[in-house]
């Protein structure tokens, strides 16, 4: 758990597990409130292997197309994998009874954030249809250990296949409503705009609210700029599918996409988990680029060039991942 990436828009709150309550309200037949013990005893516990990925993962590559100020310039590391244990959100919603007109499930944290002169609980929402899927958990355990405070103790939502921002930590309130949440992190942040939009001409409502992650693959080894002694190497990385459809293949090119070598997928495919992969390739001496791309079982693949998908907040970079390495006894890259 210490290796899992962390992303926090505000301070980490101290929540007393003994007095903690989760409330469910809005368009429900019976507003409810649960202690942690209530949740544990009232519903069957579930464990799900799910990868969390921040919408800002690989923002650095987008920032190399055009500067992205005031955002964290993540490399490949805003993604991690864990086994989460808790109860299904849908079981809890069934006990509250989904009311007429409910279409979104809004989530509000006990963790406070400050934006635009206001202090409020971090929040967001997911469509009701997603909330009723079996993979969405209210989790209190991470990899068999109690959820650490950094990752949302005592209770967080885990929304596999969605941007990490929807997996609200230190969850305090669930509200069923007709519209998406009006929380800043749903209504303003985490919207996707075309490359023509920037901070000075943006019309916030016109952006696409982010939810499902896109198919992608990234090279974790070798590293960008690495100097490699000889011409044979093993390239390793991760790939993620879309909408719970596992990645079907990962391919790696050492000649800018003219030819592709198929990588070996490691382990059994699991719907909400990243797919680790590796492939051996040979590279002639000199400065070389290595490119990776994934294809999922529905045939979806990745954009070729990050410039096509540049957006001023730097979200959702799933362009083919390219790194440059130097092979043989040449001068190191500057
Ligand atoms: N929940 C709260 N309450 N506050 C936050 O700042 N950050 C979100 C999400 N849940 C956040 C939150 C974002 S942007 C991401 S990517 C994930 O938490 C990261 O989860 P992690 O820190 O456990 O990796």
Q: Cβ(96)–Cβ(30) under 8 Å?
A: yes
19-51 pLDDT tens trace: 999 999 999 999 999 999 999 999 999 999 999
Distance from the CA of 164 to the center of ligand 1, in angstroms? 6
Residue 333 has pLDDT above 70, yes or no: no
Give the closest residue to 94 by CA, choosing from 145, 144, 134, 124.
134
- Ligand 1, residues at Cβ distance < 6 Å: 4-10, 52, 54, 109, 111, 122, 151, 164-165, 167-170
Tens digits of residue pLDDT in 298-311: 888 999 999 999 99
Nearest CA to ligand 1 atom 10: 168
What is the per-residue pLDDT across 83-118, written as a single tens digit (0 to 9) for each? 999 999 999 999 999 999 999 999 999 999 999 999
- What local confidence, expressed as pLDDT, does residue 296 receive? 84
245 or 230, greater pLDDT: 245
- What pLDDT, on a 0 to 100 scale, did the predictor assign at position 331? 58
Q: How far is the CA of 134 from the centre of ligand 1 (A)?
A: 21
Partner residues linked to 219 by β-bridges: 237
Q: Evaluate if pTM is beyond 0.85.
A: yes
**79 contact partners, CB below 8 Å, separation of at least 6:** 5, 51, 52, 53, 54, 57, 238, 240, 274
User: Closest by alpha carbon to 140, among 236, 267, 20?
Assistant: 20
**In angstroms, rounded to a whole number, what is the distance separating the alpha carbons of residues 165 and 167?**
6
Task: Quote the pLDDT of residue 56.
Answer: 98
Res 229: pLDDT = 86
Give percent helix, percent strand, percent coil of the chain, each to the nearest 5: 15, 40, 50
The protein residue with its alpha carbon nearest to ligand 1, atom 19, reads: 7
Mean predicted confidence (pLDDT) in 113-128: 98
- 113 forms beta bridges with 120
Coil vs helix vs strand at 251: strand
Q: Name beta bridge partners: 139.
A: 86, 156
Please give the C-alpha separations between residue 57 and each of 28, 60, 80, 154, in angstroms, as whole numbers: 35, 8, 11, 26
Q: Tokens 């429900």, residue?
A: 28
Average pLDDT of the chain? 96
Model confidence at 138: pLDDT above 90: yes
Evaluate if residue 16 carries a pLDDT over 70. yes
Confidence band, pLDDT 50/70/90 cuts, at residue 237: very high
Q: What is the pLDDT of residues 143-187, one digit of tens each?
A: 999 999 999 999 999 999 999 999 999 999 999 999 999 999 999
How many angstroms is it from 25 CA to the middle of ligand 1?
Answer: 23
Q: How far is the CA of 170 from the centre of ligand 1 (A)?
A: 9
Pocket test for ligand 1, best of 71, 122, 141, 164 (most atoms within 8 A of CB): 164
Could you give the CA distance from residue 110 to residue 173 in angstroms, rounded to a whole number? 8
What are the beta bridge partners of residue 279? 235
Residue 261 has pLDDT above 80, yes or no: yes
Q: Report pLDDT for 297.
A: 79
Over 60: is that where the pLDDT of 330 sits? no
**Dist. CA 230 → ligand 1 center (Å):** 41
Are the C-beta atoms of 303 and 319 separated by less than 8 Å?
Answer: yes
* % of the chain surpassing 90 pLDDT: 94
Task: Report the C-alpha gap between 33 and 31 in whole angstroms.
Answer: 7
**pLDDT tens for each residue of 43-71:** 999 999 999 999 999 999 999 999 999 99
CA of 52 to the centre of ligand 1 (A): 10
Q: How far apart are the first and last CA of the chain?
A: 35
> Burial, 66: exposed, middle or buried (Cβ in 10 Å; 0-12, 13-18, 19+)?
middle
């Amino acid at each position: 758990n210490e290796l899992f990436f962390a992303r926090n828009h505000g301070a980490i709150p101290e929540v007393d597990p003994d007095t903690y309550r989760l409330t469910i309200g809005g368009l429900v037949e019976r507003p409810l409130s649960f202690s942690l013990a209530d949740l544990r005893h009232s519903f069957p516990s579930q464990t799900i292997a799910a990868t969390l990925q921040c919408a800002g993962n690989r923002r650095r590559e987008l920032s190399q197309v055009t500067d992205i100020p005031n955002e964290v310039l993540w490399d490949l590391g805003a993604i991690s994998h864990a086994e989460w244990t808790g109860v299904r959100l849908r079981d809890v919603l069934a006990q509250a009874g989904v009311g007429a007109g409910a279409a979104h499930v809004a989530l509000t944290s006990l963790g406070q954030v400050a934006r635009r002169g206001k202090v409020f609980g971090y929040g967001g929402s997911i469509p009701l249809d997603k909330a009723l899927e079996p993979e969405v958990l209210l989790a209190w355990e991470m990899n068999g250990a109690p959820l650490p405070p950094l990752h949302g103790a005592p209770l967080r939502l885990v929304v596999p296949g969605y941007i990490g921002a929807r997996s609200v930590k230190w969850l305090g309130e669930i509200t069923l409503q007709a519209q998406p949440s009006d929380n800043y992190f749903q209504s303003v942040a985490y919207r996707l705009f075309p490359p023509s939009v920037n901070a000075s001409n943006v019309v916030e409502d016109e952006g696409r609210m982010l939810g499902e992650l896109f198919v992608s693959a990234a090279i974790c080894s070798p590293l960008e700029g690495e100097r490699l002694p000889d011409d044979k190497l093993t390239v390793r990385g991760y790939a993620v599918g879309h909408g719970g459809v596992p990645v079907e293949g990962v391919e790696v090119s050492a000649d800018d996409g003219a030819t592709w070598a198929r990588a070996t997928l490691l382990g059994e495919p699991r719907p909400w988990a990243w797919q680790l992969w590796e492939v051996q390739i040979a590279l002639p001496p000199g400065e070389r680029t290595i490119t990776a791309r994934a294809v999922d079982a529905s045939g979806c693949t990745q954009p070729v060039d990050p410039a096509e998908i540049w957006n001023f907040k730097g979200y959702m970079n799933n362009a083919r991942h390219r790194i440059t390495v130097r092979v043989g006894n040449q001068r190191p890259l500057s």
